[in-house]
Amino acid sequence: MASRSVDGEQSTQAEDDYNAMLSTTDVELLKRAWRNEKAAPEILPFQSDLIARVREQIELMEETVEEKSTVGTDPLSVSLYQMDLDRTLFLLRSYLRIRILKIEKYMFHIRKTEELWNRLSKDEKFFTERCSDDLKKHLEESVLSKLPENYQSYERQSIISEEDDMIPEPRLDTFVLCRSKDYLTGIQLGDGPVDDRSKLFEMEAGVLYFICYKSIKPLVESGKIELL
């Protein structure tokens, strides 16, 4: 009986190790980055190292599919390899597309905010500069130049405006669905009644929460909380 117990514990440990390995593969990490980017109201730091590794894996997967198709491998096996390749390509393209959509929506805000600007990749920075310059030029030539001088700014409604009220900004007070991998405490809520904002909030591991993004923003950026 003792031997069976030891064997059972070893089997459980091996299964846990295997599941832990699966959860940290680059494809799973990309899936997590994709979910976070999709759910976050602002653009998150570009996962440069992860994306570089995923692109290398995609090249290897493409070579594998081509090789197995050439040597006459069982079509079912080839289709399984192709499915993995298609899934990875979808995640990568969708991740990059979501970021492009955020850049197009908040390009002026991102360009003038150093924190957000530093989150972009080299290619994204080039795209942001070119897109914002082209849009600014178009607005000035087609609309703003025809308005009274006090209303010719693309950033402010008029010269008496105290802030850039014409530039869209992400709403950080948006509520998001999230969960934590570990038990977390000391989270200060930035929403709700004023009396409750000084109270500290706790999060149990694996439990889903619907919470204001601004309250967990640093924890999302550090990877302690993932969005869904």
Tokens matching residue 132: 């914002």
- How far, in Å, CA of 138 to CA of 149, rounded? 17
Sheet arrangement for strand 209-212: 209-212, 175-180, 225-227
Q: What is the pLDDT of residue 22?
A: 42
Q: Given its phi and psi angles, is residue 170 left (phi above 0), alpha (psi -120 to 50 degrees) or beta?
A: beta
* pTM of the full structure: 0.81
pLDDT score of 18 more than 50: no
Q: Which domains does the chain have, with CATH numbers?
A: 2-170 (1.20.58.1030), 171-228 (3.40.5.60)
- Taking alpha carbons only, the member of 42, 82, 84 closest to residue 176 is 42
- Taking alpha carbons only, the member of 163, 5, 8, 25 closest to residue 84 is 25
pLDDT in tens, 91-127: 999 999 999 999 999 999 999 999 999 999 999 999 9
Residue 176, strand partner residues: 211
- How far, in Å, CA of 94 to CA of 88, rounded? 10
Per mean pLDDT, which of 38-47, 75-84, 153-162, 210-219 is the most reliable? Answer: 38-47
Average pLDDT, the chain: 83
- Taking alpha carbons only, the member of 123, 114, 72 closest to residue 96 is 123
190 by Cβ neighbours in 10 Å (0-12 / 13-18 / 19+) ranks as middle
Percent helix, strand and coil across the chain, each to the nearest 5: 60, 10, 30
